[in-house]
Amino acid sequence: MGYPILVTPVSQLIASQATRNVIDSERWSMVSDETVRYFLGHYGASPAPVDARIADRVLARPGAAGLRDLEPISLDGARKRFGARISDEELLLRLTMPAEQVDAMVSARTAGGPTPARTAGGPAPERTDGGPGPERTPARPAATRSPLVTLLRGLAERPSISELTLRKDGDTVVWRRAG
């Protein structure tokens, strides 16, 4: 496979393929879509040339042609997918972990009670526990609050609601009750 650096996700591709090569009756008879994408160069160029015989065998598999048309994994593509306004740290987490786990980590940053876990755009939620964070602003009267803030405060007062997801214009806000 061209001696790639063994870092996720490529290390997982290699470990899975090595296991399949040992378990299956014939080496390279079963290949994951991710491994096909590796041979197509979607994870970047390999440090050394891949074995041409293996590459030909992998890329001749049914379904490989459909994967050729997929856009290679890139930072720009990830920014389009998850939103241009999230931090680099959150972007990397979202690329490598299930959304629920990342949402929980984002929520945990703002300790204390239910908080919106942002999956795209905007500044981090304001801290309400007195801890370090964005500069605090005085509470505004209900009539001048954003409709989203009013909704989230209303949700916090209704213990029977444990989760809400809002999507609009490519932005998503997920609210989950802590605990």
97 part of a folded domain: no
Domain hosting 121: range is 105-176
86 part of a folded domain: no
**HSE, side-chain direction, 13 A CA sphere, residue 7:** 5
The answer to whether residues 54 and 110 belong to one domain is no
Tell me the DSSP string of 125-157: PPP-SS-SSSPP-PPPPGGGS-HHHHHHHHHHT
138 part of a folded domain: yes
171 part of a folded domain: yes
62 part of a folded domain: yes
Radius of gyration of the chain from its Cα atoms, rounded to whole angstroms: 22
Helix (H) or strand (E) holding 91: helix 88-96
90 part of a folded domain: no
Last residue of a domain, one of 41, 68, 95: 68
The answer to whether residues 169 and 116 belong to one domain is yes
pLDDT per position in the chain (179 positions), as tens?
A: 999 988 878 888 899 999 999 999 999 999 998 899 899 988 888 999 999 999 999 999 888 888 887 877 777 888 888 888 888 888 888 877 788 888 888 888 765 544 444 444 444 444 444 444 444 444 555 555 677 777 777 777 788 888 888 788 888 878 787 76
113 part of a folded domain: yes
Last residue of a domain, one of 68, 91, 113: 68
64 part of a folded domain: yes
The pTM score is: 0.46
The answer to whether residues 49 and 110 belong to one domain is no
Q: Count how many domains the chain has.
A: 2
